[in-house]
Amino acid sequence: MADVLSRLGLGTSPLGNLYAEVTDREARAVVDAAWEAGIRIFDTAPHYGLGLAEKRLGAALKDRPRDEFVLSTKVGRLLVPDPSGADRLDDDGFAVPARWRRVWDFSADGVRRSLESSLERLGLDRVDVVYLHDPDDHWDEAFGEALPALAELREQGVIGAIGAGMNQWQMLARFVRESSVDTILLAGRYTLLEQPALDELLPLCAERGVDVLAAGLFNSGLLARHDVPDDATYDYRTAPADVVGRARRIAAVCARHGTTLPAAALWFPFGHPAVTGALIGARTEAELTANVAAFAAPPPPELWADLRAEGLLAAGVPTP
């Protein structure tokens, strides 16, 4: 229990007003509640609310002992001032004024500028981990320029570790195979619902000693409620009926074993030895508290056996 809690981290896209506005006070309450719960891993990015999440996270952590937490941010999207956007909202899912626009930039100079700007927004003197953020369409520049620049910063001691964060596993496997990344952030591709990263990526990470931080454990909402609604989201879209049905079948098995769908979803990734941490996101203190409470009692081993018996979990999938 304590070991798993020590590996739980807070993802901050909701604190950047993802889909809906969160007040400064509500955002601070989430970070404070995470800290009180024992969470010491915090992940953010310029992309989240056009820098708003970084500002809010930095403000909440600035008086915390710096050596007691691990902070990661990301590079790949430079924020460029756009005065013309002051009267309209961001068009990339965040409820913030579009006073800045994102510019893809995985050049060496872009990486350094992005990190410098992130440190300014965070109000901190360093970050511990820097991820390439969604380089799906930018392999050549990300691999040829951004990674060497990050490796140089790592060698200089400016940052502690480097990696890549993506919603797909295939390119992450290529980064692990062909570069010196220390860690990857894998979103949505190793969850209780689906495990496409299991056969190739995770064994490769275990072999190379690359840490895996699992994110998107609820598949963007589908597994977040035990009573799965008809309009649940999956991969940021309304979930197909068959996917909703599968989630409900998993929830029914969970109920038979005295646990819930969110609790099983949060515990699931820790069954794999390559997974060293997992991120949870929360819009409110209540959401954060509920997620942490899901770890109060791990699901019984019989749950995983029953999921296998009902064809909802493959025989070779490792479980906690």
Catalytic residues: 48
Look-up of token digits 């950047």: 16
- Among 138, 125, 139, 110, which residue's Cα sits nearest to residue 46? 110
- Helix residue ranges, H only, the chain: 2-6, 24-37, 52-61, 108-122, 139-141, 147-155, 170-178, 201-208, 241-256, 261-267, 285-293, 301-309
d(C-alpha 303, C-alpha 249), whole Å = 12
Three-state SS string across 192-219, please?
CCCCCCCCCHHHHHHHHCCEEEEECCCH
Q: Is 240 exposed, middle or buried (0-12, 13-18, 19+ CB in 10 A)?
A: exposed
Q: Is 38 exposed, middle or buried (0-12, 13-18, 19+ CB in 10 A)?
A: exposed
- Helix residue ranges, H only, 100-181: 108-122, 139-141, 147-155, 170-178
Task: End-to-end CA distance of the chain: give it in Å, rounded.
Answer: 11
d(C-alpha 247, C-alpha 27), whole Å = 30
